[in-house]
Amino acid sequence: MFDFEYQLKILPDRPGVYIMKNSLGEVIYVGKAKILKNRVRQYFQHNVNHTTKVKAMIKNIAEFEYIVTDSEKEALILECNLIKKYRPRYNILLKDDKHYPFIKITTNEEFPRAFVTRNYVKDGNKYFGPYPDASSVHETLDTIKMIFPLRNCKKNISENSPKFRACLNYHIGLCKAPCEHLISRKEYSEIVQDVINLLSGSDTKVVKVMEKSMLEASENLEFEKAAAFRDKINALKKIREKQKIIIGNFEDEDYIDLYSDDKDTCVQVFFLRQGKIVGREHYMLEDTAEERVESVISQFIKEFYGGTPFFPAHIYVPEVEDSDLLEEWLSARKGSKVDIKVPKRGEKKSLLDMVKNNAKITLEQFKTKLIKDKQMNETAIRQLSEVLELDDVPHRIESYDISNIQGFDSVGSMVVFEEGKPKNSDYRRFKIKTVQGANDYDSMREILDRRFSHGIEEIKSIQQRNLQYSMGKFCIFPDVILMDGGRGQVNIALQVLEKYGINIPVCGMVKDDKHNTRGLIYNNEELPISSNSEVMKLITRIQDEVHRFAISYHRTLRDKRVLHSLLDEIPGIGEKRRKELLKKFGSVNNIKDATFEELTETPSIDRKAAESIINFFTSSKS
């Protein structure tokens, strides 16, 4: 047993990180402390007024450990790394861990290209963003390529390189064919500079030049040419309209504020780039209403900027704790000064108020939708109970599916719906181990057997060790099992349940001639269900979700197998290089779309290996 009294006595009078664990050894909270002795002891003092969330955490602490650091800054860095590694349940976590897209212009090439990337690297090229809206950034880039004839290929082109045959883009007017030396480097650079000016917000000069060219063409009776300039000017204005100018300076700034109700918090972030709002993002933080604003903002900054490669010059917030420490950490990561400021008046305070107001509206909309969804889900599970004539409403429903292609990479999936909505944390996936070929019945038997045998073992362990059932992964059994197949899969499930002496209602989906679900099979009887009923909508959602989850896992395994086989075929790529490519890019498409510079930035990939990879995928495409 962990001796709390002794461990609290020997806590050091030093900065560091403390790690709280439950009885299963799982990390449930990570925090930093200026003085470990004072901070950790606070959790176990009865006279401290803890929030409800902290009280719940303390009940689950079975042991703790700590790591001493030389400074509070080191503790902050370590805290961020450990939170990212363990994702503890009682830390404030952003469920949507996004890598926002940038527009990259390869200015270190003689004839630069422009494309969207999510990898921000300090490689001497120009990056614009990040853009929160991926569809918007792709639309912007497509518009730019229609206006400015930049090359789209990955060929290593220079003024001294041999000529390549021009591609289709040249013939349809989207490229000036530098590959055939049909445009000089100087002329091409002027086009690139216009694109940079546009993305930097300095597009007035570009528009004026085009307007002048349009008038000259019109005066020379070159009406088609004038119309082309007109269309380009309109496209430029369309891009400009999407970026609302609200502040006169031209620095990158983020504005963060929040709004809380009696339970949850919505944090809203506005992104300003070159004095223009280019997007916004919101995050819902559950069970945070009792937290202090400055604490939530501080934790949000650590979580949000701990996972992004881009940092603005200024961050504006309503309140924040440890601002000096956070500034030091962010500045070190950015490589230049990052300020965290609390505006009290003026346009920046007004903008922050607007962010808070948007957070309030977003939270209210979120809660309204939540209430509506809850009512629909309650109706659906009540109707399911009536259809199956159950004694009680099925609060937990589990569904299973098998996915394979001709017996290869066969996998099983289990999805869980509680109170009519997905509970993603309880989803489980199974790689089929004992069945060869495309045998869905035996595969289903295997995953059900594994699921319930694990559950029984966990229940015994939890009872013996006097633990909480919420700590297990399989110990909570469903009220109803919904099989994607019909009578055959239902019988398989009933056989497995009978083997372990478990009594759970099992029903299957009955399909019509068009493979649409028309009802349920239960107790060897088909039960028709109206297609417009809430229970049918719930069944459809469960069916779609179990398919999606099974297929996504199958694709992951298939892609890994294909990726290995493809990389084995590339000359000069051995096991070590293959592992490095897998580690950095993760998928065939990412490696195929990687630039020469991105490939050479990969450990162990030199120029010769990068050329081999590009040549391989280029020839494969041909």
- In whole angstroms, how large is the CA radius of gyration of the chain? 29
pLDDT at residue 172 in the model: 82
Q: Which residue type occupies 602?
A: T
Find the angle CA(447)-CA(449)-CA(454) to the nearest 5 degrees: 100
What's the CA gap between 59 and 44, in Å, rounded? 10
Q: How many residues does the chain have?
A: 622
Residues facing residue 255 across a β-bridge: 270, 316
| Each residue's pLDDT tens digit, 247-305 | 556 678 899 999 998 888 999 998 887 677 777 788 888 888 788 899 999 999 998 88
Of 558 and 324, the structure prediction assigns the larger pLDDT to: 324
Position 154 confidence tier, pLDDT thresholds 50, 70, 90: confident
What 8-state DSSP symbol labels residue 124? S
Burial of 416 (0-12, 13-18, 19+ CB in 10 A): buried
| Each residue's pLDDT tens digit, 531-546 | 889 999 999 999 889 8
Position 317 confidence tier, pLDDT thresholds 50, 70, 90: very high
| Each residue's pLDDT tens digit, 449-464 | 999 999 999 888 888 8
Tokens of 472: 């297990």
User: Does pLDDT of 119 surpass 70?
Assistant: yes
pLDDT at residue 602 in the model: 85
Q: Which residue type occupies 389?
A: E
pLDDT at residue 559 in the model: 59
| Each residue's pLDDT tens digit, 495-534 | 999 999 999 999 998 887 777 788 899 998 989 898 889 9
Tokens of 621: 């495409």
| Each residue's pLDDT tens digit, 357-416 | 989 998 998 888 888 888 999 999 999 999 999 989 999 999 998 876 554 557 888 999
SS3 content of the chain, % helix, strand, coil (to 5): 50, 20, 35
pLDDT at residue 137 in the model: 75
DSSP string for 153-212:
------TTSPP----HHHHTTS---GGGT-S-HHHHHHHHHHHHHHHHT--HHHHHHHHH
Position 310 confidence tier, pLDDT thresholds 50, 70, 90: confident
What's the CA gap between 156 and 5, in Å, rounded? 67
What mean pLDDT is predicted for residues 326-345?
Answer: 91
User: Does pLDDT of 240 surpass 60?
Assistant: no
pLDDT at residue 560 in the model: 59
What's the CA gap between 207 and 198, in Å, rounded? 9
| Each residue's pLDDT tens digit, 97-109 | 556 678 888 988 8
Domains of the chain with bracketed CATH: 4-86 (3.40.1440.10), 102-245 (no CATH), 253-296+310-365 (no CATH), 396-556 (3.30.420.340), 570-621 (1.10.150.20)
pLDDT at residue 245 in the model: 46
Position 315 confidence tier, pLDDT thresholds 50, 70, 90: very high
3-state class of 18 per DSSP? strand
CA dist list (Å): 101 to 112, 302, 303: 19, 20, 18
| Each residue's pLDDT tens digit, 411-442 | 888 999 999 999 988 899 888 888 876 777 88
Buried b (16+ CB within 10 A) or exposed e, 346-366: eebeebbebbbebbbebbeee
What's the CA gap between 390 and 395, in Å, rounded? 12
What's the CA gap between 526 and 522, in Å, rounded? 6
pLDDT at residue 410 in the model: 77
Instruction: Specify whether the CB–CB gap between 260 and 51 falls below 8 A.
Output: no
What's the CA gap between 202 and 198, in Å, rounded? 6
